[in-house]
Chains A and B, each alone.
Chain A
């Protein structure tokens, strides 16, 4: 069973968001890290770059797969998790404590899912 944290928001692309006012931490869910297998590299976005919702913003690679991360909301990159450059495996160990990037000046999107909706969605794809 994929781990899901109730307080977070989710996307159908298996990203999670933690909203703090006009800022959001973004990471990948347990389902995503499990599908990828052992993660070998995380390509982080550049701080101060602006992205619209659904635009490709980062990349997570395993030996056999490469997964694009699409920005769940529009915003500007305010912080990236530099630790992931040396230790990409942190995303396998604990995908919810290790964010990938933080966005500021965000504009919320309507298709974000709450924990229950994401749980339901996972049932349909397995």
Chain B
């Protein structure tokens, strides 16, 4: 058995792993008894070597982009350049307090300012904020800007956000958090927004529509200019979920498509590491008329100096403590410097090339949800396979693990049955994709000839399939 005991179970009373310098002043006075802690907390007592072995072991029981191919649709698991890690660890960034005088943090402020400008250039927008800490946080902030816009105009009745049925779960949740209600817009047989259904839904109560383009099926909304006009004519705004931006960097800009607010995911499109689920960063960019609602502080350049501007009368306020996930922003900033206008365009072109290549290879046996040129990702439907062999998208995914690959995204978007969404990204080579496709095609044959084998997978991992029902019925959430 390969698993790792909880560290606390390796505790030996009295053992310690860190030595502080001796106190060079008088000891602290005791706290008043009223406010003193009662029982001690129970934390590990181990040696530094125990600590290092434990966490080293844990890090080896994980699957990173550094280890293998990660074609997770909608996540853009591209390579995380090491130079970005090196730069994010500089003392000149880490030892800086957010409330130091502005003249002592000109480097940090310049990075902020230039980053916003770069992202504006990429999106076509007029200004932005780097304060949100994640994509969903960016959505929340962007929708709050929309909310603020309509309240400022006295249009309180604009209470509805339209969302396509293929949307990611954060979209309706973010809308709801801002006090909006949702109306779903149907997809047509092309997998795109149904214009007739959109027209039906564009009533006086609509504040806007949230879209991603390409959409969650990896398809480009060819009618986007028409959609933009329809929504604007109805008095609404357009919100761009930038999760799929990796398909169109330098090829198209959300502003030109008619969007008014955009969020990007630096941990997707701009190569910052996923870290096991964070920290990320969700910058929000917007058009000129929305600038007054920017979260405080804004970053400005005036009299040759970068400054923080807290005096924004109509600002929506704050969404996080300070200015955003600065070290994540440093990484993305370095990435943009490394790629440049030519590299960013090339990245999107090769992301799309890679996705189409995998699509045509897998199409030989599998059913692609929409049989046409895709963008940076595509969706397979394994419903037919399931009907004929009983092998599901889940079974194929778990079998891929045994073959050394991270599975694709499963069961999303919800409008495709037994969905598997693949996004190879541009950092993967032809050889890596060929090997992976060979395996996936082989699994199809195994599904037909030995379905029971696939249902047992994974077998080569530390643990087998987990009992999620038990975990949810009788939650054990601490040791």
Which A residues from 34 to 79 make CB contacts under 8 A with B? 38, 40-41, 61-64
Q: Which residues of B contact A38 (CB under 8 A)?
A: 469
Distance of B386 from chain A, by nearest CB (Å): 15
Roughly how many angstroms separate A63 CA and B468 CA in the complex, as a whole number? 7
Q: Is A27 an interface residue when CB atoms closer than 8 A count as contact?
A: no
> Of all chain A residues, which has the CB nearest B470?
A40
Q: Is B477 an interface residue when CB atoms closer than 8 A count as contact?
A: no
Q: Is B6 an interface residue when CB atoms closer than 8 A count as contact?
A: no
Distance of B395 from chain A, by nearest CB (Å): 16
Q: Which residues of A contact B473 (CB under 8 A)?
A: 40-41, 88-89
Q: Is B472 an interface residue when CB atoms closer than 8 A count as contact?
A: yes
Roughly how many angstroms separate A88 CA and B472 CA in the complex, as a whole number? 11
Distance of A58 from chain B, by nearest CB (Å): 17
Distance of B87 from chain A, by nearest CB (Å): 40
At the interface, is chain A mostly helix, strand, loop or mixed? loop
Please classify how large the interface on chain A is, using the bins under 10, 10 to 19, 20 to 34, 35 or more. under 10
Q: Which residues of A contact B469 (CB under 8 A)?
A: 38, 40, 63
Q: Which residues of A contact B411 (CB under 8 A)?
A: 64
Chain B CB count within 10 A is highest, among A40, A61, A64, A89, for: A40
Roughly how many angstroms separate A40 CA and B473 CA in the complex, as a whole number? 5
Question: Interface code B232-256, partner A: CB below 8 Å = 1, 0 otherwise?
Answer: 0000000000000000000000000
Distance of B104 from chain A, by nearest CB (Å): 49
Q: Which residues of B contact A40 (CB under 8 A)?
A: 469, 472-473
Distance of A35 from chain B, by nearest CB (Å): 13
Roughly how many angstroms separate A41 CA and B472 CA in the complex, as a whole number? 8
Chain A CB count within 10 A is highest, among B411, B469, B473, for: B473
Q: Which residues of B contact A64 (CB under 8 A)?
A: 411
Distance of B277 from chain A, by nearest CB (Å): 19
Roughly how many angstroms separate A89 CA and B411 CA in the complex, as a whole number? 24
Which B residues from 438 to 479 make CB contacts under 8 A with A? 468-469, 472-473
Chain B CB count within 10 A is highest, among A62, A63, A88, for: A63
Roughly how many angstroms separate A38 CA and B473 CA in the complex, as a whole number? 10
> Of all chain A residues, which has the CB nearest B473?
A40
Distance of A85 from chain B, by nearest CB (Å): 11
Roughly how many angstroms separate A89 CA and B472 CA in the complex, as a whole number? 12
> Of all chain B residues, which has the CB nearest A88?
B473
Q: Which residues of B contact A63 (CB under 8 A)?
A: 468-469, 472
> Of all chain B residues, which has the CB nearest A63?
B468
Which A residues from 75 to 104 make CB contacts under 8 A with B? 88-89
Roughly how many angstroms separate A26 CA and B473 CA in the complex, as a whole number? 23
Roughly how many angstroms separate A40 CA and B471 CA in the complex, as a whole number? 9
Roughly how many angstroms separate A37 CA and B224 CA in the complex, as a whole number? 38
Question: Interface code B393-431, partner A: CB below 8 Å = 1, 0 otherwise?
Answer: 000000000000000000100000000000000000000
Roughly how many angstroms separate A88 CA and B411 CA in the complex, as a whole number? 25
Roughly how many angstroms separate A32 CA and B469 CA in the complex, as a whole number? 18
Closest 10 CB pairs of A and B: A40-B472, A40-B473, A63-B468, A38-B469, A63-B472, A63-B469, A40-B469, A88-B473, A41-B472, A41-B473
5 CB-based A-B contacts, threshold 8 Å: A40-B472, A41-B472, A61-B472, A62-B472, A63-B469
